[in-house]
Structures are given as C-alpha cells and as structure tokens.
Amino acid sequence: MSEVLRAEGLTRILPGAVPVTLVRDISLSIDHGEFVMIMGPSGSGKSSLLYLLGLLDAPTAGKVWLDGRDTSAFGEDELAELRLASLGFVFQFHFLLAEFSVLDNVLLPMHRLGSLPEEGRHARARQLLADLGLADQIHRRPDQLSGGQRQRVAIARAMANDPLVIMADEPTGNLDTASSRNVRDILSDFARNRGKTVLAVTHDPDFAQAGDRLIRLVDGRIASDGDTGTPDAAGMQLPTPPP
Amino acid sequence: MRPGGFRLGLAIAATHLASRRRQTVMSLLGVMLGVAFFLAVSALMRGSERDFIERLINSQPHVMVSDEFRLPPLQPARQLHPRAAVALSNVKPSSEVRGIRGYKQKMELIAAMPGVRVAPVLSGQVILTFAGKDHGVLMNGVVPKLMSGVSDIEDKIVAGSLEALDANPNGIIIGEALIGKLGVKMGGNVTISSPGGQIRTMKIVGLFSTGATAIDEGQAYVLLKRAQAILNRPDRANRLIMQLDDPYRAREIAAEIEQRIAYRTQSWQETSENITAVLVIRNIIMYSVVSAILVVASFGIYNVISTVVMEKRRDIAILKAIGFHTDDVRRIFLFEGMAIGAMGSVVGVGFGLVLMLILGRVEITLPGTTTLVNLPLYWGFDQMVLAAAFAILSAAGAAYFPARRAAMLQPVDILRGQT
Ligand SMILES: Nc1ncnc2c1ncn2[C@@H]1O[C@H](COP(=O)(O)OP(=O)(O)OP(=O)(O)O)[C@@H](O)[C@H]1O
Ligand SMILES: [Mg+2]
C-alpha cells in the first residue's frame, strides 16, 4: 500500500486578541484506498483538520503531502488546481449552486478542469448520478430534492474529476437513518470497489463502523488512531495508540 | 480560464444577474440613459461645432498673405556684423510704399500650386461722402474675376454685380445698410476721399448684404486699379487671399508659401486659434458632464454586484473549494458588470438615436435672422463607439472592487461559519 496523504506536526492557531488553537501537532499518514473515519466531541477540531488536509486552510506549523508532493510552498492557485484535480469535498450542508441543475452542478468541476471532452463530461456526470440513484433527477434544481438526494449530488460532484481522495465532513449529519445508510454504502463502495481514499468526519457510531480505520480527536489532538473493529468505535474506551 | 471554464463563468454570471433582476434592470436603465444622453449631447455639440467651423472657414480666406514680415528686417549694420554686439541709436527706418512688392509674380507662384485659387486685394480707409454726410469705410480694391474664385462675396450681392466694376472703372459696391444711412440710391454717386488727399466721384453699381453690421456698414469694393490710384500705391496689393479645395490643408500651404515669399502668411486656423481653443474647452466640459452621467450610472452597477457578492458568499466559497482560481471568480463578477455595461450601451445607443432624431426635427430661428434652421447634428458612428466603450469601461471599473472582494474570499472562513 502506498501513501496518498501525509501530515506532519500540523498545528493551526487562529490569530486574534485571544488566539484559538484549532488543531495541535497532528501527524498521520493515509494510504491509497483507505476508508478513514474521524470522530471526536464537538469542537475537537475535526472540521479544522479536514480543511487542513484538504488544502483549504494553511497550517500555522507543519506540512501536508498529497500524493508525495509537499504542498507547503504552493501558492493559492496551485492549491486550487490540486483540489480541483485530486480532491473531492462533501460538506455537511450540501453547498450546491441553487440556480444550476443537478447535472450542471456535477459538471462544474469537470468544466473547470477541462480534461475530458465535452461529451465525455456529460456521459460521466450522467453515469455518476445514475450510480447514485439520481438518473431521474438530473434536470431538477437542488431545492426540488430531498436532503439525502442533495447529499448524493454533492458526492457525485466530489467524484466528478475522479479524485485521489474524497473528504466528507459529517455527510450524514442532517439525514434520516435510511439516507444515512445509503450515503455510507456509497462511500464505502468508493473505497472498497473503486480504490478511492475516503476521509469522513462523523458523529454517528453506526456510520463509523463502515470505515476501516478510526482517528479520534480530543481538544485538537489525536487521541487514538486504529481499527474500527475495536470497541472504542462506539466511543466506549480509548486504547493507547502505538507511537 | 480554459474554454469550458470561460462559458461556465458566463453562465454563473448570468444566473447571478437573473437572481437580482430588478436591481439589474435599474442599473441597466442607468447605463442606458447615460449612453443616450452622452450620444445626444455629443451629436449636438459636435454638430454645432462642425457648423460653426464651416461658417468660420467660409467667412474668411483660407490662407492670406499680408504685407508684413514675422521678423523685422535686419538693419544693414547687423547684416554686416551678424555676431557682433552692435548698438544702434536713432535708426531711421527706410520708408517705402507699403504693400506686397511684386505681387503679380508672387500670385503666379501661388496660383501654380494645385487646389489653390488666389486673388489680390488692396485695402485702405477712405471717407464716403454724400449730401454732406460722411462715413468711414474700408475700401477693398479687387479683381472681380479673381475675387469670385476666393470668396463668397458674389452670393452676398443683392443688387448689381461684382462684374459691374469691370464695366465701370469708377464703380463702387457698398453695403445695403449704408443706403439708408447716407440716403443715397443704387446708381447714385458718392464722393471718396483718401487720407492722401485724393478725391473721386464714384457711382454705386452694386449693393451687398452679409448680415454682419460691421461689414455691411464698414466695407466697400472698387476695382484694384482704382484703389491703387486713390490710395497712391501703384502696383501694390496689401493682401493675397486664397481659397483651397481642401480648407484643412491651409496650415501646410500657408507654411509653404511663407517659406517661398517671406511675407507673413496665415491660415484660417492660425487666424482663428483663440476661437478653436474655446471649442476645445467646450468639448472638455461637454465630455466631463456626459461622462459624469455614466459614472453615476456605474454606482448602480457597483451596487448590484456588491449585493450579489454578499448574497453568493456560499457559492463563491464552494467554487473556490472545488478549485476555481481567484482569477476565475474575479472574472465572473467583471463579466456581470461588463454585461450590464454592454447591454445598457446597446439599448442606450438605440435610445440615443431616437433622441437625436427628435432633436434633428427641432427648428429654431437664429438671433438676427428670420429663416428657420434645424439644429445641426453630427451623426458619426465614432461617438457611439466612444459612448459604448466608456460605458463598458466604467461598468468594468465599478465591478472591479466587488469582484476583487469576491476573489479574495477564503472558502474556509465561510465553511467555518457554516459547519
Ligand atoms: N472562526 C472561529 N473563531 C474562533 N474559534 C473558532 C472558529 N472556528 C472554529 N473555532 C473553534 O475551533 C475549534 C475547532 O472547531 P471545529 O469546527 O474544527 O470542531 P469540530 O470538531 O468540527 O466540531 P463539530 O463537531 O461541532 O463540527 C472549536 O473549539 C471552535 O469553537
Ligand atoms: Mg465540524
């Protein structure tokens, strides 16, 4: 297994009259095809960590490597280019463009990247949406869809440019049980069957079970990092992580 | 932005404007009115300017040689010692008959230039007397055949003709206005006395009327030969006046003539320099005023785009998170501004043309005349391009600041606030 994402000594402090430490001294390594869950109490820095790993935020200290590349010296546009081609995001609140159809929302990153010819983009977008059970909805507007459907559109959009890593911040946070399971199954299918690396933040122990690795954050630090199969997955106990 | 991305930017810009339809329409109206007024005012000002310049050109010689030099002739002592410090006191200028020496040869030289017609004039102040009433006039000695080629005096003659001077060497043509003043009639005789003491009786063979009192009451025409005799300046002319096929070449032709014959030669542009300077100032004032309308209109654009940027913060965040560059985002909002500018320009040019049509139908009587004239309008295409270009530029300028704010927005700031 080869490494796709690596962080060393990541620290992010928001400057201000009273500086706020979001995450402190986080180091981790994630391999291709891993399905990694991130859990922790509210305010423990899960989203903050995801933004740093997703190259959306710049660390105060430490570095992130994506696919072997040190991103610390990259400029804003180079980082944007990396996000476009290699990362896909799914946020807790779907963040779709309200004026565009489902299909156009999924086409957005492909148009921007422009690596596929025009017809290829359409075919791929339709295929992705069909795979996610949205074949009948492609011409609808996001506000004509249910929360679960919207989240699946966001997943399709995250997949659009065939990224190395998909990062999802509480993708099931607002969904009912059935929709949650659906989203969980889709993400694990990407990891298991399509060789994608998936990084998901969740509060839902059920959802966390789907992953094959669990990182627990407390107060902006890694409290544990290990298999999901262990009892701590349900939040019972924290085994001491191997150094 | 890559080809696909370019269209994407346009599509996003379109949805933004559509989402703020009323505000967009209002700012469109602003640009439209700005462009329309710009056009209407520009058409009027430039039309009247052209009209004015045309009158200016027609009312005076295009080029005129006068009997003086730009630099005073060098004194013999200076000619002898060009580099010495010479102080001369009590220098007596050589006195000779004033006028252009050898004017006939000089005229031949000028007449040989293509597109140039030339005529000699000898003018001098004389006193007209009739029935005990005196009136000072400037008497112009002319050659009728040549004169009609260089001025529109023939058109101004209301009784008799210029050629009548040829038939009657003692003829004189005076302004119609003088008839009443002196109580003389067409065909009557007047007495002319020159400063040199010459006195002649002349017969009125023609009357002219230009509408300008100073000319109508202050000038008279006689044969050149007669003028030379009355003024005691045989074989002299004190002005050579020219008309050109292309009046706008007057400057270069004047320079060429002056270089060849040394006498001071002025183009109509040089003579009217202070008037044309006023026109330039007038243009500056006009363009600042009509541009101000467009600047005001661009505040409307600034408003819409600022609102859209505020409202679409989430969208901007998601676009940037997905991988749109700062340039891509900036361009979306610049597009929006320029789209309003461009659409406003198109509608504005249309409305401006309607205004011009209406203005073109307005008829006025100029002070001192009784004929109805239409407002002079300039219909040139260049002013439409200028109005549209200025509108689009100021729209882009107005969009620039909100666009920059949007481009610099950090997605993580918005994500932090949301999740
Ligand atoms: N803009 C901000 N200004 C100040 N503090 C902030 C800001 N954003 C986040 N924080 C603080 O940073 C810490 C980490 O926040 P983060 O959103 O990463 O936590 P989280 O684990 O994702 O929480 P949740 O489960 O509620 O989403 C929290 O203590 C939060 O209060
Ligand atoms: Mg969070």
| Total domains in the fold of chain A | 1
pTM over 0.95: no
- Assigned domain for A136 exists: no
Q: Which amino acid is at B326?
A: T
- Assigned domain for A80 exists: yes
Instruction: Check: CB of residue B250 under 8 Å from CB of residue B244.
Output: yes
| ipTM above 0.85 for this complex | yes
Instruction: Check: CB of residue B212 under 8 Å from CB of residue B24.
Output: no
- Subunit contact B323:A84, Cβ cutoff 8 A: yes
pLDDT for the residue A37: 95
- Subunit contact A80:B8, Cβ cutoff 8 A: no
Residue B395: HSE in the Cβ half-sphere, 13 Å Cα cutoff: 30
The CA distances from residue A243 to A26, A53, A213, in Å, are 13, 21, 16
For chain B, positions 278-337, list CB contacts with chain A under 8 A. 314-315, 317-328
Residues of A in Cβ contact (< 8 Å) with B320: 80
Q: Which of A12, A56, A172 to mutate to test the interface with B (most CBs of B within 10 A)?
A: A56
Atom of ligand 1 nearest to the CA of A51: 18
Phi/psi for A236 (5° steps) reads -75, -50
Closest residue CA from atom 5 of ligand 1: A20
Residue A230 pLDDT class (50, 70, 90 cuts): low
- Assigned domain for A199 exists: yes
* Percentage, residues of chain A above pLDDT 70: 93
For residue A222, what is the domain's CATH number?
Answer: 3.40.50.300
- Mean pLDDT, chain B, rounded, equals 88
DSSP B132: T
Alpha carbon distance B299, B164 (integer Å): 69
Please determine, for residue B76, whether its predicted confidence score (pLDDT) is greater than 70.
Answer: no
Structural domain that includes position A198: 3-97+153-227
Average pLDDT score over residue span B327-341: 93
Least confident of A173-177, A184-188, B69-73: B69-73
Apex B356 CA angle, B354 and B359, nearest 5: 115
Residue B4 pLDDT class (50, 70, 90 cuts): low
> Where do the domains of chain B lie?
5-57+275-415, 97-263
pLDDT for the residue A241: 53
Residue B165 pLDDT class (50, 70, 90 cuts): very high
